[in-house]
A and B are shown apart, each in its own frame.
Chain A
Amino acid sequence: MAVNNFEDRPVIIHADQVSRRFGNFTAVDHVSLDVLEGDIFGFLGPNGSGKTTLMRILCGLLRPTGGHATVLGKDVYADSEAVKRSIGYMSQQFSLYKDLSVMENLRFYAGIYGIPRRERVARMEEVIEIVGITDHRKKLAGNLSGGWKQRLALACALVHRPRLMFLDEPTAGIDPVARRDLWNLLFDLAGRGVTFFVTTHYMDEAERCSHIGYIYYSKLIVYGTPAELKLLPDVTPKGAERLEVRVPNVAASMRTLNTFDYVLDATIFADVLHVLAEQGCTRRLIADLEAGGFPGAEAKPIPATLEDVFVTLTRQRALERAQEQANV
């Protein structure tokens, strides 16, 4: 159910029915998607759903066992060396040389990417400036804190001015402030025309992406802009609406809520409940809650969040999978 964009920006990544099997196990199953120039494409999915595998395929690191993909117009498998010259990649685990300093790591990558000796220093200064790591030049990479490590990795991946960056969970395990800073940096770079393909677990990061793909058990379930996804009919079915219900005892009241036949779904969000209910049942819901021993509830209609989108779609897909497996 891909949401199509008909825009005239160039297609940077084009994946067509890309699959990858490891033995009997299919890690990526017929995934098709397009990423246009300037997009920040957020690739979401639970652990082990195939995010890293698809990213590796798109970087020319892993051979697809089915389908084909082009990156910047080049086939990712047949022409992988050309692809590698024009992309930047940050792998999931920190993979710079811990016993080399910030500058030494940068100098190494500048050399590897064949930046002419004359330009090398200027180019290194440029990326140091961009990621703001000026004060740490002499430090060993291994001694940097998580956030700075990621900035250094980003700098190394940027030194050859790639048009497209692949970042595999760049914010995993770094503190919230560093996380926000890193994202601001990504926007900054996107503003300079760099396209991003980023995997993440975090919903708030997903909200900031221009486009999102959601992969679940190796299959791409949905992709589009966050706004488009929230309006998907499957997420809020016809005749239903989403309510935010404020009630003192959320956990206990959710059990009661789930017994009402006009409630389709209920999820706890901190101290409130997000309820998917038949349209026009707000009053009834408050009354029924009071009758069930939860007085003083308040309810107001809200739009779907991305988390709603993923939770709903995941549940649907899990049900479908269970049915498929039961049929086999």
Chain B
Amino acid sequence: MFNGLAAIVYKETRHVLRDPRTLFLMLLLPCLELTMFGYAVNLDIKHIPTVVYDLDGRNSARELVEAYVNSGYFRIVDHVASDDALNREIVAGHAKVGIKISPDYTDRILEGKSAEVQVFIDGSDSTSALQALNTSNAIGMLTSMRIVGKSMGGTPVMTIDTRNRVLFNPDMRTANFMVPGLVGVILQVVVMLLTAFAIVREKEQGTLEQLMVTPVSRLGLILGKLVPFGVIGIFEATSVLTLMRFLFHVPIAGSLLLLAGFTLVFLFTTLSLGLLISTFAENQIQALQLSFLVLLPSFLLSGFMFPQETMPQIIYYIGQAVPVTYFLRVLRGIILRDAGFWDLWQNGAVLAGMGVFVILLASMRFRKTLK
């Protein structure tokens, strides 16, 4: 059943070692991708450039501006002296937020009336706009309450004290959430393409025809291709995880051993998918096109970019069919929440099941005859 397995492993290993440049690229590429995308997806928006048009200029007004700066989300880039100037700063893109404090701000507070502060937000960058809006509202609330408290004499009071506590990623760093996801998605891309090309290249070069007239078994050939690429996959996984830990400073809360175990299962599934693709494709272009059928849902529907909970049902189910969905749960579980084996085993089981199914399908589809 496994006839020829050892010979195929031997040959594939020779191919890889013969060409150290390609090997180096295969290991470097996922690291480059992780670095590039890792910085790109960093959604924490801090120090939004802000201009201030302070018509009041007294203490209370300055305290308000300070409250903005102290929140960490705003950085005052300039003070302006007219509505026009404020507008121009935003249009020119020098600032994304403009704070205009009315001349009677201090007076109205002292009189116990509501004081007016206008905050202009550049909506053309929706992510920072949202951040600015939320923070600004919160600052408004907090400052009001402090003032109300003061005016009632003594300590500020709160009617309802909701103490939200974010577990597991207390700083709400997007990197901690996104980069483990990226690790999964990048491994999926790189490892699958690598293997998809492995058999297709032999088709193109005519060496597969020669192999087909030998007694090599189908499973021997398929698994023989899988083993060496699996080893490369392990190196790639290790390097991107190392990068995640030390370049993006994402701490790994859970067990490294468990992480390694699940990663192996995921690699197996991904390699099998690559091999299945190579049984459909006649050349590398076709292999690439077919890969996109898996890669697009891996990016969009796996929960990597958008939460799966909000997806329409059918889209949700497509998302459940891509292996990386389960691996993302495992990655986030182990890395962020210190989840244990029993919390995650179902994801591992689905991955393993998918892998076995796909590899059997691939070796069944692979015929030792021509068409």
Contacts and interface: CB of A to CB of B under 8 A. Distances in A.
A113 B213 CA distance: 10
Contacts of A93: 206
Interface stretch (A104-112, A131-139, A214-222, A320-328): A104-112
A100 B15 contact: yes
Nearest to B11: A108
B211 A112 contact: yes
A285 interface: no
A312 interface: no
A164 to B, nearest CB: 12
A91 B210 contact: yes
A111 B210 CA distance: 14
Contact of B4 (A63, A104, A114): A114
Contact of B214 (A94, A97, A98, A112): A112
A113 B216 CA distance: 7
A109 B211 CA distance: 9
A81 B215 contact: yes
A114 B215 contact: yes
A39 to B, nearest CB: 20
B15 A91 contact: no
A80 B368 contact: yes
A250 to B, nearest CB: 42
B205 A84 contact: no
A62 B368 CA distance: 9
Contact of B3 (A60, A62, A89, A114): A114
Q: In this complex, which of B8, B205, B214 has the most chain A Cβ atoms within 10 angstroms of its Cβ?
A: B214
A104 B14 CA distance: 8
Interface string A74-118: 000000110011010101011111111000100111111110000
- Secondary structure class of chain B's binding surface, majority of residues: helix
A80 B369 contact: yes
Contacts of B18: 99-100
Given A61-B213, A109-B214, A95 B7 contact: no
Contact of A61 (B6, B8, B209, B216): B209
Contacts of B10: 107-108, 111
Interface in B191-231: 205-207, 209-216
B15 A59 contact: no
Contacts of A91: 206, 209-210
A95 B207 contact: yes
B293 interface: no
A113 B214 contact: yes
B19 interface: yes
B205 A95 contact: yes
Interface residues of A, number: 30
B206 to A, nearest CB: 4
Given A100-B14, A100-B15, A111-B10, A63 B207 contact: no
B36 interface: no
Nearest to B209: A91
Given A56-B370, A61-B370, A108-B10, A97 B15 contact: yes
Contacts of B215: 81, 84-85, 112-114
A17 B368 CA distance: 24
Nearest to B371: A62
Interface string B1-33: 001101110110011001100000000000000
Interface string A148-188: 00000000000000000000000000000000000000000
Interface string A115-153: 000000000000000000000000000000000000000
Given A60-B213, A61-B213, A84-B214, A111 B370 contact: no
Nearest to B212: A61
Interface in B167-209: 205-207, 209
B210 A96 contact: yes
B15 A89 contact: no
A108 B213 contact: no
Given A60-B369, A97-B15, A87 B7 contact: no
Contacts of B211: 112
B11 A95 contact: no
A97 B198 CA distance: 13
B2 to A, nearest CB: 11
Contacts of B368: 60-61, 80-81, 84
Contacts of B206: 91, 93-95
Contacts of B216: 112
Interface in B314-367: none
A189 B369 CA distance: 28
Interface in A23-82: 56, 59-63, 80-81
Which of B3, B11, B216 neighbours the largest number of chain A CB atoms within 10 Å of its CB?
B11
Given A62-B370, A97-B11, A97-B207, A111 B213 contact: no
A59 B213 contact: yes
Nearest to A94: B206
A112 B217 CA distance: 9
Nearest to B217: A81
Interface of A: 56, 59-63, 80-81, 84-85, 87, 89, 91, 93-100, 104, 107-114
17 contacts: A59-B213, A61-B213, A62-B369, A81-B215, A84-B213, A95-B207, A97-B14, A100-B11, A108-B10, A108-B11, A111-B6, A111-B7, A112-B8, A112-B211, A114-B3, A114-B4, A114-B215
Interface of B: 3-4, 6-8, 10-11, 14-15, 18-19, 205-207, 209-216, 368-370
Given A84-B215, A99-B15, 5 more contacts: A81-B215, A84-B368, A108-B10, A108-B11, A112-B215
Closest 6 CB pairs of A and B: A111-B7, A95-B210, A89-B213, A95-B206, A112-B7, A108-B11
